Chain A
Amino acid sequence: MIQSALRASPGTEAATEFFEPSTSRAEATTAHTHLGEGAMKWAVPSLAARAFGRLSASRSQTSLTSPDATTVEAGVPGREWRGNSAQTKTLSLPPSFDKVAREQPRAQPTFYAIQEWEGFIIDVTDKQIVARLVDLTAGGQAADDEASIPIDEISEDDRDKLAPGRLFRWAIGYQRLPGGTKQRTSQIVFRQLPAWTRRDVETARLEAAELVEFLDDNGRG
């Protein structure tokens, strides 16, 4: 399961602020990681974690390993990620895909993204979703693209969770299968950020109270 793949290993600094200890999601984390010895296999480097949070396990049940966790940063153009199951969900741009591919045994599929967006849903119908997108490949700073995506392109497991505000990553690129076959694919991964916790709410209330002190006339008599 993806949760175990993302579990922090010894020597790994994982972000725990989003944990909800009372639920099974305690293992899932939007972790940022400083890699320690022995942590490389399961570690999720910072940008990958920021980008995906807890990956959607609906279609692929994918776990991630880095081919070289000391150097790889997902989401950075020129980097590559490999999955250890039949489908790879994490996407990035290796600078020298062929070189990396030659150096690694082809036991796992790899994905080479040509175009990546981060988006959020603004409308859902029975035929399509409409979303606003930030063009990550172009270094976009704002969601100035809009997409219409047929509902058929969304994993069936994700369809009942489609709602305005839902965040996702979308990449189009080439997937190289273990046998060497290269195929063009589009991959949409919905971010499964753990729900806000009681601690989140308490922290937000404290922070808000500080701001009220500064902003509100009533607080000043």
Chain B
Amino acid sequence: MDQPPKPDELEVTVFGPGFGECILIHYGRNEWINVDSCVDPQIGRPAALDYLERLGIDPADCVRAILVTHWHDDHTKGIAEVVKACPNAIVACSGGLSKKEFLEIMQIFNRTSSEVGSGLSEIQDLIFTLKANSRRPKFVFADMPIYVSKNPDCKLTALSPVNDEYIRFLRKMSSFMPGPGQRETKYRFPNPSPNDLSVATLLEVGDIQVLLGADLEEHGGVDRGWSAVIASKTRPDAKASLVKVPHHGAASAHNPDMWTKMVGKDPCAVLSPWAWGGQLLPTIDDCNRILGFSREAYSTSRAARARRKNYPAAVAKTLREARMQVRPAEPPTGRVTFRCALEAEAPWTVDASDDARKLNRFYDEQ
């Protein structure tokens, strides 16, 4: 993509994986919203800033709002850099991140110095950046408007976290506070599971709706996850024509009612893959399930991991002899861009980077 969207064009671009996932939204007249952050290991900076720069767009002038739906390093890489580059944007974070239970854990774990980060380094960097610039963020909960613009007409509404998730999150944070029975050594904060505080959102631009599923999961009870979102009486009515599939397409984030009650007919869908240990999302079953709801489903990257590095011969030989493997952690960072005209009931047009795939071809190269 080398041309910026037209002033009357809606654009939703999803980047990932790499470190994290990021969404850029153009809702008209060169005004943008940034959701989360993703660093492409190949370029070493936030993918959103790189993309805007290549389109000749100054984020300082054009980004009006930044939403942080995650708080763990693995999902928010580079978010402080994005916030610094967008001094005129309001910043919104998941409710709960302003509470002492979370902030104490953030400060404790950041007392460990490591090249791999503390697991809470990025969110601390973000909060310190905001504090240094007296930019107090907005903390959001289910059914709260995050950002509203009258002209161009745009509304971004939080669908989560609901109250139960918030309380559960704070209780879980407290359990990490060091005390009797703690581990003998400091350690990196573990990857959060489930993603209690994840902020799913509904974007409304004119008559067009986009459902951004973040990493919100499903737990079966009506008080949590997607079931709580669907049961809400105060959320906006939704019939989205584009869906950012929650949690990388995982079965743990699937609720069929999300597709039937909040998504319109023949929707487009997009996700970014995620690798962790031996696990890769989406699985083949996930792809097939999503394709059952959306024939126009895309992934920002392919299933195969990025190209292996060439280590010196002695290193490669040692790894081989000891049956140790070192490989890129993730598939390469890619992008899928959806655009449509605001004034007509036009279909979405799709543009994708080389590594992006239609979801029915996600596993073709493995």
With a 10 A CB-CB cut-off, give which of B127, B182, B190, B326 has the most chain A CB atoms: B326
Are A120 and B188 closer than 8 Å at their CB atoms? yes
Q: Does B233 contact A (CB under 8 A)?
A: no
Are A186 and B318 closer than 8 Å at their CB atoms? yes
Are A144 and B183 closer than 8 Å at their CB atoms? no
Contacting residues of chain A (131-169) with chain B, CB-CB under 8 angstroms: 132-136, 138, 140-150, 153, 161, 163-167
A173 nearest CB across to chain B (Å):
8
Contacting residues of chain A (115-139) with chain B, CB-CB under 8 angstroms: 115, 117-120, 122-123, 130, 132-136, 138
* Selected contact of A195 from candidates B44, B177, B183, B188, CB within 8 Å: B183
B120 nearest CB across to chain A (Å):
11
Residues of B within 8 A of A30 (CB): 113
**Contacting chain B: which of A59-67, A81-89, A100-108, A199-207?**
A199-207
Are B39 and A142 closer than 8 Å at their CB atoms? yes
Task: Please report the C-alpha to C-alpha distance between residue A184 and residue B177 in the assembled complex, in whole angstroms.
Answer: 42
Task: Please report the C-alpha to C-alpha distance between residue A100 and residue B328 in the assembled complex, in whole angstroms.
Answer: 35
* Selected contact of B77 from candidates A135, A142, A164, A195, CB within 8 Å: A142
**Contacting chain A: which of B97-105, B266-274, B357-365?**
B97-105
Are B187 and A167 closer than 8 Å at their CB atoms? yes
B17 nearest CB across to chain A (Å):
10
Chain A interface category by residue count: 35 or more
- A214-B136 contact in complex given A123-B277, A172-B315, A195-B184, C-beta closer than 8 Å: yes
Are B108 and A120 closer than 8 Å at their CB atoms? no
How many residue pairs, one in A and one in B, have C-beta atoms under 8 Å apart?
A: 172
Task: Please report the C-alpha to C-alpha distance between residue A114 and residue B316 in the assembled complex, in whole angstroms.
Answer: 11
Residues of B within 8 A of A191 (CB): 114, 185
Are B190 and A144 closer than 8 Å at their CB atoms? no
Q: Does B236 contact A (CB under 8 A)?
A: no
Q: A23 — nearest CB in chain B belongs to which residue?
A: B184
Task: Please report the C-alpha to C-alpha distance between residue A164 and residue B39 in the assembled complex, in whole angstroms.
Answer: 23
A45 nearest CB across to chain B (Å):
15
Are B44 and A141 closer than 8 Å at their CB atoms? yes
Residues of B within 8 A of A192 (CB): 184-185
A178 nearest CB across to chain B (Å):
22
Are A130 and B113 closer than 8 Å at their CB atoms? no
B204 nearest CB across to chain A (Å):
26
With a 10 A CB-CB cut-off, give which of A146, A153, A216 has the most chain B CB atoms: A146
Task: Please report the C-alpha to C-alpha distance between residue A174 and residue B313 in the assembled complex, in whole angstroms.
Answer: 13
Are A200 and B326 closer than 8 Å at their CB atoms? no
B95 nearest CB across to chain A (Å):
10
* Selected contact of A144 from candidates B19, B111, B184, CB within 8 Å: B19
Mask of B124-152 contacts with A, CB within 8 angstroms, 1/0: 00010001000011010000000000000
Task: Please report the C-alpha to C-alpha distance between residue A209 and residue B107 in the assembled complex, in whole angstroms.
Answer: 11
* Selected contact of B312 from candidates A114, A132, A143, A145, CB within 8 Å: A114
Q: Does B278 contact A (CB under 8 A)?
A: yes
Are A147 and B186 closer than 8 Å at their CB atoms? no
Are B19 and A142 closer than 8 Å at their CB atoms? yes
Are B327 and A145 closer than 8 Å at their CB atoms? yes
Q: A164-B190, A167-B188, A208-B100 are in contact. List 10 more A-B contacts (CB 8 A).
A: A191-B185, A192-B184, A193-B185, A195-B182, A195-B183, A196-B182, A201-B178, A203-B111, A204-B104, A207-B103
Measured CB to CB, the residues of B under 8 A from A are 18-19, 39, 41, 44, 77, 97-100, 103-104, 106-108, 111-117, 119, 127, 131, 136-137, 139, 177-179, 182-191, 275-278, 309, 311-312, 314-315, 317-319, 322-330
Sample (24) of A-B pairs whose CB atoms are under 8 Å apart: A114-B312, A114-B314, A132-B116, A136-B115, A138-B309, A140-B115, A141-B44, A143-B116, A144-B19, A145-B328, A146-B328, A150-B323, A163-B187, A166-B187, A167-B114, A193-B185, A204-B108, A207-B103, A208-B100, A209-B100, A211-B131, A212-B99, A212-B100, A215-B97
